[in-house]
């Protein structure tokens, strides 16, 4: 079908990550013809979400991707004219490194390990062979690249409602499946005890009557329920008053995505996990704070909301760190810890006073819009958001093509502008503007670029890190660094009602800036919060901690903050989007997309609301027929009446 791909477009976008997808929707909405392509077989790039089997396939695909040899250049080189030159693109995705996976759950091979509707039962008892066969069975069959328009745009979750942002969902089980490789080799670490079964049976018998029985979850169950998981490559949350929420509502992309509010902000202090009071009611109901501390905290938070109106309070500390400034406000060490790590969520050493006050104000301003915390999480994972913008682009005529590799940019020598791309079929596609994700650029183009790295861990556990009467809790926790100068670790714990894991399990994401490999950066925090499944039968003191069933570590490239001038020989009409950054929110991606759009189309509005089909009139007709391409677009209510009531000024939540 690629032979039928049109050869003239206004904009060609390479990569389907969040900033590229936002740009695709914005360009298509402004009337530009858009071709959106990706060499991968899925949407989202490093912003994607996978089922457990899908993640295994992703890792296997990444391994195969690194084994690709040099392809013949004869076909596309013949398409370059004498007055043109080619800028080749990277053939291998090198944004993921140091991947290690560990299975702690019992590998009960007597169970049916077939994933429902996906994997076939594997009779092998060998761990390595079993895992290899699971990977092979999880991989999709090779297929030719194809493209589709708005009528062919697939929807990942047809059961979702096409209404305004929804924050409440029923408790639904979810799917998962997974894979791992070390370096360029696929491998699996299995941790087990020789007498594990015996110890487990003894432990069951000796359980105290007043202790709740913990379900025994095997690796076979995880594989079988693999589709219940939706595992994000990058862990993000949305600020309820943030740029992305505003853009989703304004553009009506919110109709494609549903959300659940984060229910708890947690803190880790003196080896314990505690809940942080956020709203006024939480502060005065907190059992962790004394009455004096409650009044001190309320007074300080009220000041932070209006700190710009009282410059005398902080001018002398502008050059100090935020942690030093907090010490001058007569806050107890307990309150200082809460404010620094759980409200401002900043670094103890590198955050300035102004940055800390601004972060605290932003946190407080987001309270009360959708719940008692400032954060929302997209149901089915972060990967739903770029897909939502892709759907909007397709509705307005954008053409999509996955598994479609681009060989090179074709640049006019005289003007220095890019004229076309040449794909792996040898087809030349012309356009006025080109947008490309950083990972596609060649080593030569990026030779002067200094990349940062993000350390990531994904865990499957059997219970929450802070148990309460409510078992469906979505939490965020900042674990302070153990040593001065090190980075804090952000922990996001997702329950099954977020549609990201199977029932009776939790999906935990750990994120920090890299100093070493992901495992070296994060394993110490994992050991503080969790107990490997096999150790729980031996160490009774560790039974209070959640049991770790499965873990994956990997490093991801952080290309945010790279200036355009760092790239070599980039044509003036080629624009670069970065991959995910290490921040908690999505502000950088939205700002980048809007900035690039205004550079390309300075007179156009960025992602305006879609038209109401009932208001469209053609050629003076009295009738109002449906508009082609927009017949599926329905204006979502920006805010419900209930939500409007909650949109009080943050000061009301802090006043007595």
Residue 54 inside a domain? The answer is yes
Q: 67 pLDDT band (50/70/90 cuts)?
A: low
Report phi then psi at 519, rounded to 5. -65, -40
Instruction: Indicate if 389 and 350 belong to the same structural domain.
Output: no
Q: Greater confidence, 435 or 75?
A: 435
Q: Is residue 408 part of a domain?
A: yes
Whole-number pLDDT of residue 175: 34
Average pLDDT, the chain: 79
pLDDT > 90: what percent of the chain? 50
- With CA atoms as reference, report the closest residue to 266 among 470, 465, 498: 465
More confident residue, 639 or 443: 443
In terms of Cβ atoms closer than 10 Å to its own Cβ (0-12, 13-18, 19+), residue 412 is middle
Taking 70 as the threshold, does the pLDDT of residue 504 lie above it?
yes
Residues 565 and 419 occupy one common structural domain: yes
509, part of any domain: no
Quick check: 121 pLDDT over 50?
Answer: no
Residue 577 placed within a domain: yes
Statement to judge: residues 385 and 353 lie in one domain: no
More confident residue, 368 or 236: 236
Q: How confident is the model at residue 80 (pLDDT cuts 50, 70, 90)?
A: confident
Q: Is it the case that residue 52 has pLDDT exceeding 60? A: yes
pLDDT at 551: 94
Ranking 82-91, 179-188, 613-622 by mean pLDDT, the lowest is: 179-188
Flag whether pLDDT at 598 surpasses 90. yes
One domain for residues 299 and 435? no
β 547-558/452-461 pair status = antiparallel
Q: Binning pLDDT at 50, 70 and 90, where does residue 63 land?
A: low
Distance, in Å, from the CA atom of 122 to the CA atom of 507, rounded to the nearest integer, reads: 25
Q: Which residue has the higher pLDDT, 654 or 555?
A: 555
- 223 in any annotated domain: no
Averaged over 330-353, what is the pLDDT?
86
Per the structure, the complete domain to which residue 433 belongs is given by 8-92+380-450+560-600
pLDDT of 122 > 60? The answer is no
Does residue 248 carry a pLDDT above 90? yes
Confidence of residue 535 (pLDDT cuts 50, 70, 90): low
Q: Are residues 362 and 386 in the same domain?
A: no
User: Quick one: tokens of 499?
Assistant: 């549609």
**Domain co-membership, 564 together with 431:** yes
Q: Is the pLDDT of residue 654 over 60?
A: no
C-alpha distances in Å from residue 611, one per residue of 162, 619, 630, 634:
16, 17, 8, 8
Query: Looking at the structure, do residues 361 and 395 belong to the same domain, yes or no?
Result: no
Domain ends where: 309, 331, 366? Answer: 366
Which band of pLDDT confidence, cut at 50, 70 and 90, is reported for residue 120? Answer: very low
Q: Which of 167-171, 408-412, 460-464, 545-549 has the lowest mean pLDDT?
A: 167-171
- SS3 for 520-550 is HHHHHHHHHHCEEHHHHHCCHHHHHCCEEEE
The answer to whether position 612 is within a domain reads: no
| 46 pLDDT above the threshold of 90 | yes
Confidence of residue 42 (pLDDT cuts 50, 70, 90): very high
Give the pLDDT confidence of 201-213 residue by residue, as tens digits: 444 434 444 445 5
What was the pLDDT predicted at 9? 96
Res 470: pLDDT:
78
- For position 316, what pLDDT does the model report? 86
Please check whether residues 424 and 292 belong to one and the same domain: no
- Among candidate residues 574, 600, 626, the one where a domain is terminated: 600
Residue 452 confidence (pLDDT) = 95
Same domain for 397 and 347 = no
Q: What is the per-residue pLDDT across 355-378, written as a single tens digit (0 to 9) for each?
A: 999 999 999 999 888 888 999 999
**pLDDT at 592 exceeding the cut of 90:** yes
Calculate the CA 299 to chain-centre distance: 35
Instruction: Give whole-number Cα distances, 591 to 18, 107, 507, 512, in Å.
Output: 11, 46, 29, 22
Q: Report yes or no: 376 and 167 within 8 Å, Cβ to Cβ.
A: yes
* Residue 618 clears pLDDT 50, i.e. is over it: yes
- Domain of 284, CATH number, reads 1.10.405.10
With 80 as the cut, is the pLDDT of residue 62 above it?
no
Q: Are residues 296 and 420 in the same domain?
A: no
- Residue 188 has a pLDDT of 52
Q: Which residue has the higher pLDDT, 481 or 108?
A: 481
Tell how strand 185-186 and strand 259-261 pair up.
Answer: unpaired
Domain count, the chain: 2
Structure tokens at 136: 């092979």
Q: Copy the structure tokens of residue 335.
A: 């309150």
Is the pLDDT score of 534 beyond 90?
no
pLDDT for 58 beyond 60: yes
- Cα separation, 478 vs 460, in Å, equals 19
Ranges 341-350, 436-445, 521-530: which has the least confidence: 341-350
Which residue is listed with tokens 């409440």?
168
Out of 317-321, 352-356, 590-594, 625-629, pick the least confident: 625-629
d(CA 585, CA 164): 21
| φ, ψ of residue 249 in degrees (nearest 5) | -70, -45
What is the arithmetic mean of pLDDT over 71-91?
78
Q: Assess whether pLDDT exceeds 70 at residue 487.
A: yes
**pLDDT reading at 481 higher than 50:** yes
pLDDT recorded at residue 189: 56
What's residue 417's pLDDT? Answer: 94
- Region 156-165: mean pLDDT is 41
pTM comes to 0.80
Q: Quick check: 114 pLDDT over 60?
A: no
Highest-scoring range by mean pLDDT, 269-278, 570-579, 604-613: 570-579
pLDDT of residue 113: 54
Sort strands 375-378 and 259-261 into parallel, antiparallel or unpaired. Answer: antiparallel
In this structure, what CATH number is given to the domain that contains residue 399? 3.50.50.60
- Name the domain boundary from 600, 623, 648: 600
Q: Say if 327 falls within a structural domain.
A: yes
Average pLDDT rounded to a whole number, residues 261-278: 89
301 and 443 housed in the same domain: no
Instruction: Give every CB contact of residue 20 below 8 A, 6+ residues apart in sequence.
Output: 13, 14, 36, 45, 386, 435, 437, 577, 593
* Residue 387 belongs to some domain of the structure: yes
User: Over 80: is that where the pLDDT of 166 sits?
Assistant: no
pLDDT at 597: 97
pLDDT in tens, 378-393: 999 999 999 999 999 9
Q: Which single residue is written with the structure tokens 């858009």?
A: 34
Same domain for 439 and 413: yes
Tokens of 613: 């089909």
Helices (H), 232-274: 243-251
Longest dimension (CA), the chain: 83
């Amino acid at each position: 079908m690629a032979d039928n791909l049109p050869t003239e477009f206004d904009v060609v976008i390479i990569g389907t990550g969040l900033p590229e997808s936002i740009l695709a929707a914005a360009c298509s909405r402004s009337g530009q013809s858009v071709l959106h392509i990706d060499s991968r077989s899925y949407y989202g790039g490093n912003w994607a979400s996978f089922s457990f089997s899908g993640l295994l396939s992703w890792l296997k695909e990444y391994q195969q991707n690194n084994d690709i040899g040099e392809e013949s250049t004869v076909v596309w080189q013949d398409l370059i004219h004498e007055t043109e030159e080619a800028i080749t693109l990277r053939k291998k995705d090198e944004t993921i490194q140091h991947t290690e996976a560990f299975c702690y759950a019992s590998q009960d091979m007597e169970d049916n390990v077939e994933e429902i509707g996906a994997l076939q039962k594997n009779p092998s008892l060998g761990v390595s062979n079993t895992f290899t066969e699971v990977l092979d069975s999880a991989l999709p069959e090779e297929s030719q690249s194809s493209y589709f328009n708005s009528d062919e745009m697939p929807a990942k979750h047809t059961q979702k409602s096409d209404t305004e942002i929804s924050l409440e969902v029923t408790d639904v089980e979810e799917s998962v499946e997974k894979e791992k490789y070390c370096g360029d080799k696929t491998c699996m670490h299995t941790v087990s005890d020789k007498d594990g079964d015996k110890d487990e049976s003894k432990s069951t018998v000796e359980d105290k009557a007043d202790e709740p029985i913990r379900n025994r979850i095997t690796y076979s169950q995880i594989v079988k329920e693999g589709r219940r998981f939706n595992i994000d490559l990058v862990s993000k949350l949305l600020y309820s008053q943030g740029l992305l929420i505003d853009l989703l509502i304004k553009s009506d992309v919110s109709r494609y995505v549903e959300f659940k509010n984060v229910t708890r902000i947690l803190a880790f202090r003196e080896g314990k996990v505690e809940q942080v009071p956020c709203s006024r009611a939480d502060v005065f109901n907190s059992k962790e704070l004394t009455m004096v501390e409650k009044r001190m905290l309320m007074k300080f938070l009220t000041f932070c909301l209006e700190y710009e109106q009282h410059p005398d309070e902080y001018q002398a500390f502008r050059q100090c760190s935020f942690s030093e400034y907090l010490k001058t406000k007569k806050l107890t060490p307990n309150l200082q810890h809460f404010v620094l790590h759980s409200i401002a969520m900043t670094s103890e050493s590198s955050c300035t006073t102004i940055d800390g006050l601004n972060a605290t104000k932003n946190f407080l301003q987001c309270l009360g819009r959708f719940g008692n915390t400032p954060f929302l999480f997209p149901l089915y994972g972060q990967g739903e958001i770029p897909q939502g913008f892709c759907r909007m682009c397709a509705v307005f005529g954008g053409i999509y093509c996955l598994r479609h590799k681009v060989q090179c940019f074709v640049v006019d020598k005289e003007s220095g502008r890019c004229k076309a791309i040449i794909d792996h079929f040898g087809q030349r596609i012309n356009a006025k503007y080109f947008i490309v994700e950083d990972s596609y650029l060649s080593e030569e183009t990026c030779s002067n670029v200094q990349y940062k790295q993000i350390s990531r861990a994904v865990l499957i556990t059997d219970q929450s890190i802070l148990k309460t009467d409510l078992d469906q809790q979505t939490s965020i926790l900042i674990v302070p660094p153990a040593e001065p100068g090190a980075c804090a670790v952000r922990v996001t714990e997702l329950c099954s009602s977020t549609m990201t894991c199977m029932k009776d399990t939790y999906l935990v994401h750990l994120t920090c800036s890299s100093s070493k490999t992901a495992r070296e950066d994060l394993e110490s925090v994992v050991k503080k919060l969790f107990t490997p499944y096999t150790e729980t039968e031996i160490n009774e003191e560790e039974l209070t901690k959640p049991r770790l069933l499965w873990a994956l570590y990997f490093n991801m490239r952080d290309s945010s903050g790279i200036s355009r001038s760092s790239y070599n020989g980039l044509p003036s009409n080629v624009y670069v989007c970065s991959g995910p950054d290490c921040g908690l929110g999505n502000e950088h991606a939205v700002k980048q997309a809007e900035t690039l759009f205004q550079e390309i189309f300075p007179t156009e509005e960025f992602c305006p609301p879609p038209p109401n089909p009932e208001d469209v009139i053609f050629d003076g007709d009295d009738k109002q027929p449906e508009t082609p391409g927009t017949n599926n677009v329905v204006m979502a209510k920006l805010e419900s009446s209930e939500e409007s009531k909650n949109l009080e000024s943050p000061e009301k939540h802090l006043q007595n």
